[in-house]
Amino acid sequence: MTELEKILNCIYEGVDEVNEQLPDGQKLKKSPDTVLLGESGKLESIDLVNVLVATEDSLEEEFGVPISITDERAVAEKNSPFATIRTLSEFISNLLKENSDG
Amino acid sequence: MLITGTRKGIGAQLAKHYAGKGYQVIGCSRKEIDFELNNYHHFRLDVANETEVKKAYLEIKKKFGRLDVLINNAGIASANHTLLTPVKTVQNIMNTNFLGTFLFSREGARMMKKNGFGRIVNLSSIATPLALEGEAIYASSKAAINNFSQILARELAEFGITVNAIGPTPIKTDLIRSLPEEKVDRLINFLPIKRYGEVKDVINVIDFFIQPESDYITGQVIYLGGV
C-alpha cells in the first residue's frame, strides 16, 4: 500500500466515524472527490471538526507520530486543504514529509 | 483520572486522595516526584509543551484506553506590581496556567469524546473576581481559564463532556508561601468565611462536578469561601 493510500484509509476511517452520526441522505461518500468544505459540501462545520479529529487519531495510530492537520496554514490557506478528501490527503502527505525531514 | 501538577500542593493531595479512593490516577509534573502510590502513573513533562503532552496522551491511550476525568491543576503564581513585572514572568504564568489547561483539555476531550462521557475541572482562583492588586498576571491567567471553561463547555456539551472550574481561596501550599503573610491575612479577613481554604474544600467541589448526576452542570465557576 502506498503512503497516499494509507492516508486515504485514515481519512475514510474518520468518515466512517462521522457517517455513523449522519442521517442517510447526508452520509459522505468514501471517494477522493468528496467535497468536505464549501457550498456543495454536505457537512456541518461540527461534522468537519469530527472528521478531522477522527482522521488525526487514525493517522497517529497508522504512522505512530502525533500530527496536527489543523495548523495555522491549513486555516489560512486560500485554497483550503480541507476542500475535498483528495486535497486533504495531499496536505497530510506534505505534513508527514515535513515531519520526517525534521 | 488525569491530574496535572501532582508533584506538590493541591495536585499531590488530589492524586493521593483519588488514588486512595480507587481511581486509576495519572499525574504529571516537570520535576521528579518523591512519593509512590498504588493506582498511580506519573509522567514528567512540561504542561505547555505540545509535543510532550501529545506523547503522554498517546501513551495514556495505549495503556489505559480511556479517560473519564481531567483536572487541570498545574499552576504557578507570582505577585508583583505590573510596572515591575518582566515579560518572561508573564510568559511563564500564561504558559503553565492557561496554555497547559488548553493543551490538556484539547487532547483529553478527544479521548473522552470517544466514550461520550467526560468531566473536565479547571483550577481558577478568587484572585480573578476580587481583582487583587499585585496579581494582575496571575488573575488574568485564571480569568482566561474561566472564559475558556465556559466556551469549551458549550463546544463539548454534545459529546457528553462537562467543563467546570473551581476557584479556591488561599490554601497553605508552596504557591501561597511565596506571598507576604500579612497580605494573605488581609485577604482572608476580606472573605465572607474568614479562614484558609483546605484541600478537602476543593475535593468537595470536584466530587460534585465529576459525579454522574452532574451531567446537567457545565460552564460553571464555583468560588470557595463565599466569594
Rounded (10°) CA dihedral B102, B103, B104, B106: 80
As a whole number of angstroms, the longest Cα–Cα distance in chain A is 43
- pLDDT at position B78, please? 85
The C-alpha atoms of residue B164 and residue B124 are separated, in whole angstroms, by 10
* Cα Rg of chain A (Å, integer): 13
- pLDDT at position A49, please? 87
The C-alpha atoms of residue B16 and residue B36 are separated, in whole angstroms, by 9
Identify all chain B residues contacting A57, using CB atoms and an 8 Å cutoff. 110
The nearest alpha carbon in chain B to A59 belongs to B58
Identify all chain B residues contacting A60, using CB atoms and an 8 Å cutoff. 58
B55 and A66 within 8 Å at the Cβ level: the answer is yes
pLDDT at B220 over 70: yes
- pLDDT at position A70, please? 78
| pLDDT tens digits along A1-43 | 899 999 999 999 999 999 998 888 889 999 999 998 876 666 7
The C-alpha atoms of residue B206 and residue B26 are separated, in whole angstroms, by 16
Amino acid letter, residue A32:
P
A46 vs B: CB within 8 A: yes
B138 alpha-carbon distance from chain centroid: 13
| pLDDT tens digits along B197-209 | 999 999 999 999 9
The C-alpha atoms of residue B197 and residue B88 are separated, in whole angstroms, by 30
Average pLDDT over residues A37-50: 78
| pLDDT tens digits along B58-98 | 899 999 999 999 999 999 998 889 999 999 999 999 999 99
Given a contact cutoff of 8 angstroms between Cβ atoms, the answer to whether B10 and B203 are in contact is no
Given a contact cutoff of 8 angstroms between Cβ atoms, the answer to whether B127 and B135 are in contact is yes
| pLDDT tens digits along B150-184 | 999 999 999 999 999 999 999 988 777 777 788 88
Extract the C-alpha cell encoding B29. Answer: 509534573
Whether the full predicted model's pTM is greater than 0.90, yes or no, is: no
The C-alpha atoms of residue A4 and residue B83 are separated, in whole angstroms, by 55
Given a contact cutoff of 8 angstroms between Cβ atoms, the answer to whether B107 and B54 are in contact is yes
For B73, phi then psi, to 5°, come to: -100, -30
Given a contact cutoff of 8 angstroms between Cβ atoms, the answer to whether B168 and B227 are in contact is no
Whether ipTM tops 0.90, in short, is no
| pLDDT tens digits along A57-100 | 899 889 988 788 877 666 655 678 888 999 999 999 999 998 77
B106 alpha-carbon distance from chain centroid: 14
- pLDDT at position A10, please? 96
List all residues of chain B from 158 to 197 with a beta carbon under 8 Å from chain A. Answer: 158
- pLDDT at position A73, please? 67
B58 and A53 within 8 Å at the Cβ level: the answer is no
The C-alpha atoms of residue B125 and residue B127 are separated, in whole angstroms, by 5
Rounded (10°) CA dihedral A94, A98, A99, A102: 170
Given a contact cutoff of 8 angstroms between Cβ atoms, the answer to whether A46 and B159 are in contact is no
Rounded (10°) CA dihedral B106, A16, A81, B102: 0
DSSP string, B55-100: HHHHHHHHHH----EEEE---------GGG--HHHHHHHIIIIIIH
| pLDDT tens digits along B121-151 | 999 999 999 999 899 999 999 999 999 999 9
In 3-state terms, what secondary structure has residue A94?
helix
